[in-house]
């Protein structure tokens, strides 16, 4: 199949006017000017007309579990109050509600042009019930505040659910489709945060990551209260965590970032384990934290969630400093319990409002090339290149202004999408 569009934004060099992409199965076979692609490739042509064709977007951090909580929790006075509020909402939800919520979330993400998602779920046992319409990295979100001695068991049981991915989806499929399905479902582990997951839990997850070559993700230095808890041994989060029985002997000495860097594998080791980490938020950093980051070789990946950040009113995100220190910063939506939509276009625009000097092209990289790098799929996703996954979307364009600027301004559902589901139909 040959897909022609007025402009092809490959994210691999300059946009191509009157461009086309040749797709074979679920892979890109060729890309270039329409005339050249027509000459070099056989197959039917789908002409998208006055549209720009680009790689499908990649959401590097979200929780589809809570898609049913949109608009349910107004902004709270403190982060700790928000935790209390979401816990109250969650107590009314059944496994059936969560499974429905995850499915709705997937549909919405796809409708807005997301073709790959890093989704944290607190309910890995529900994974076999959900068939994602897009490429998915499932992260089991793990919390052991009340059962720190059971870290290993907790991780092992999550892995059992995650491994079901390798067979649940496959039984009725042809061999070719089975191979394709395997390439679109991945798993990883998400010790929730330093204040909810024990050191043993973090260490166990790192052990598994090295053994299984999986990815890890966590929330770090998200709120001022988390900073207060760890650095000062005080504040609302400290009091709340203490009241629910968390051992607090790690509080009052170090910043969250300091604790995290002590915990994770050192950047100098041959396996570079820090590259397994996709760290969400990193909003609260002290000058000593910046010194640590400058000295540290552990250049883990970071995810900034602009609209969730605005909702909570966190300290300004230090994008420029982190980028100049060499960190790979991507964008995510976080959940609908602290956001209004799962559209990465909305997220790019929210980022642009706060960071006017970052070019629209670089902002688009944060949901394509850079996000693919965080998932260690920079050689298969996030660009339109031969051999890459044929995850493609198209939106109308006028060509009157900068094409990247025009893309970021897109604020409606995406009409033309070629993602996991569509690819499997072709196979």
**Minimum CB separation from Zn ion for residue 48, in Å?**
35
Nearer of residues 1 and 122 to Zn ion, judged by Cβ: 122
Nearer of residues 334 and 424 to Zn ion, judged by Cβ: 334
**Minimum CB separation from Zn ion for residue 218, in Å?**
9
Residues 175-234 that bind Zn ion (CB under 5 A): none
**Minimum CB separation from Zn ion for residue 174, in Å?**
37
**Minimum CB separation from Zn ion for residue 280, in Å?**
5
**Minimum CB separation from Zn ion for residue 296, in Å?**
23
Nearer of residues 141 and 206 to Zn ion, judged by Cβ: 141
**Distance (Å, rounded) from C-alpha 26 to C-alpha 178?**
12
**Minimum CB separation from Zn ion for residue 7, in Å?**
34
Binding mask 126-165 for Zn ion (x = CB under 5 A): ----------------------------------------
**Minimum CB separation from Zn ion for residue 219, in Å?**
5
**Minimum CB separation from Zn ion for residue 378, in Å?**
23
Q: Tokens for 242?
A: 């203490």
**DSSP secondary structure of 185-226:** EEEEEEE-BTTTS-HHHHHHHHHHHHHHT-EEEEEES-SHHH
Nearer of residues 350 and 384 to Zn ion, judged by Cβ: 350
Residues 322-381 that bind Zn ion (CB under 5 A): 334
Q: Classify 395 as helix, strand or coil.
A: strand
- Picking from 208, 101, 195, the residue whose alpha carbon sits closest to that of residue 154 is 208
- Picking from 103, 15, 104, the residue whose alpha carbon sits closest to that of residue 55 is 15
**Minimum CB separation from Zn ion for residue 86, in Å?**
11
State which residue has the least CB distance to Zn ion.
Answer: 334
Nearer of residues 304 and 385 to Zn ion, judged by Cβ: 304
Whether the Cβ atoms of residue 319 and residue 291 lie closer than 8 Å to each other: no
Binding mask 294-333 for Zn ion (x = CB under 5 A): ----------------------------------------
**Minimum CB separation from Zn ion for residue 171, in Å?**
32
Nearer of residues 112 and 139 to Zn ion, judged by Cβ: 139
Nearer of residues 59 and 298 to Zn ion, judged by Cβ: 59
- Picking from 381, 423, 56, the residue whose alpha carbon sits closest to that of residue 186 is 381
Q: Tokens for 426?
A: 């072709």
Tokens 């996709």, residue located:
278
List C-alpha distances in Å: 36 to 21, 28, 30, 391.
10, 15, 10, 22
Nearer of residues 274 and 311 to Zn ion, judged by Cβ: 311
- Picking from 366, 417, 420, 423, the residue whose alpha carbon sits closest to that of residue 392 is 417
**DSSP secondary structure of 85-126:** HHHHHHTT--HHHHHHHHHHHHHHHHHTTEEEEEEEES-GGG
Nearer of residues 19 and 256 to Zn ion, judged by Cβ: 256
Nearer of residues 138 and 388 to Zn ion, judged by Cβ: 138
**Distance (Å, rounded) from C-alpha 21 to C-alpha 385?**
9
Q: HSE on the CB side for 339, CA within 13 Å? A: 25
**Minimum CB separation from Zn ion for residue 169, in Å?**
25
Q: Classify 159 as helix, strand or coil.
A: helix
- Which distant-in-sequence residues (6+ apart) come within 8 Å of 25 by Cβ? 176, 180, 390, 423, 426, 427
Size of the site for Zn ion (CB under 5 A): 1
Whether the Cβ atoms of residue 15 and residue 383 lie closer than 8 Å to each other: no
**Distance (Å, rounded) from C-alpha 358 to C-alpha 405?**
11
Nearer of residues 90 and 163 to Zn ion, judged by Cβ: 90
**Distance (Å, rounded) from C-alpha 389 to C-alpha 398?**
27
- Interface residues with Zn ion (CB under 5 A) are 334
């Amino acid at each position: 199949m040959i897909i022609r569009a007025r402009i092809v934004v490959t994210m691999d060099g300059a946009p191509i006017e009157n461009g086309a992409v040749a797709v074979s199965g679920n892979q890109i076979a060729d890309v270039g000017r329409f005339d050249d692609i027509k000459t070099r490739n056989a197959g039917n042509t789908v002409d998208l007309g006055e549209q720009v064709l680009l790689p499908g977007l990649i959401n590097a951090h979200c929780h589809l579990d809570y898609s049913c909580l949109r608009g349910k929790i107004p902004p709270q006075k403190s982060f700790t109050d928000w935790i209390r509020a979401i816990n109250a909402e969650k107590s009314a939800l059944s496994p059936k509600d969560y499974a429905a919520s995850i499915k709705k979330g997937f549909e919405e993400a796809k409708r807005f042009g997301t073709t790959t998602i890093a989704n944290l779920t607190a309910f890995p046992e529900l994974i076999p019930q959900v068939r994602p319409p897009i490429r998915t990295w499932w992260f089991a979100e793990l919390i052991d505040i009340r059962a720190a001695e059971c870290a290993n068991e907790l991780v092992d049981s999550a892995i059992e659910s995650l491994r079901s991915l390798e067979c649940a989806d496959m039984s009725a499929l042809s061999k070719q489709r089975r191979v394709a399905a395997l390439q679109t479902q991945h798993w990883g582990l998400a010790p929730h945060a330093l204040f909810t997951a024990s050191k043993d839990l973090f260490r166990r997850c790192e052990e598994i990551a090295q053994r299984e070559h999986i990815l890890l993700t966590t929330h770090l230095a998200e709120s001022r209260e988390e900073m207060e808890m760890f650095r000062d041994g005080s504040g609302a989060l400290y009091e709340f965590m203490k009241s629910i029985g968390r051992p607090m002997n790690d509080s009052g000495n170090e910043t969250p970032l300091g604790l995290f860097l002590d915990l994770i594998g050192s950047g100098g080791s041959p396996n570079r384990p820090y590259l397994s980490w996709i760290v969400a938020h990193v909003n609260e950093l002290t000058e000593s934290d910046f010194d640590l980051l400058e000295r540290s070789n552990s250049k883990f990946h970071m995810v900034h969630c602009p609209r969730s950040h605005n909702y909570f009113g966190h300290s300004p995100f230090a994008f420029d400093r982190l980028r100049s220190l060499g960190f790979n910063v991507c964008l995510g939506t976080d959940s609908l319990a602290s956001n209004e939509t799962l559209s990465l276009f909305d997220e790019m625009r929210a980022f642009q409002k706060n960071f006017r000097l970052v070019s629209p092209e670089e902002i688009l990289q944060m949901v394509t090339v850079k996000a693919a790098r965080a998932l260690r799929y920079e050689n298969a996703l996030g660009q339109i290149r031969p051999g890459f996954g044929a995850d493609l979307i198209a939106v109308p364009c006028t060509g009157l202004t900068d094409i990247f600027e025009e893309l970021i301004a897109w604020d409606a559902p995406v009409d033309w999408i070629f993602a996991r589901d569509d690819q499997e139909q072709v196979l």
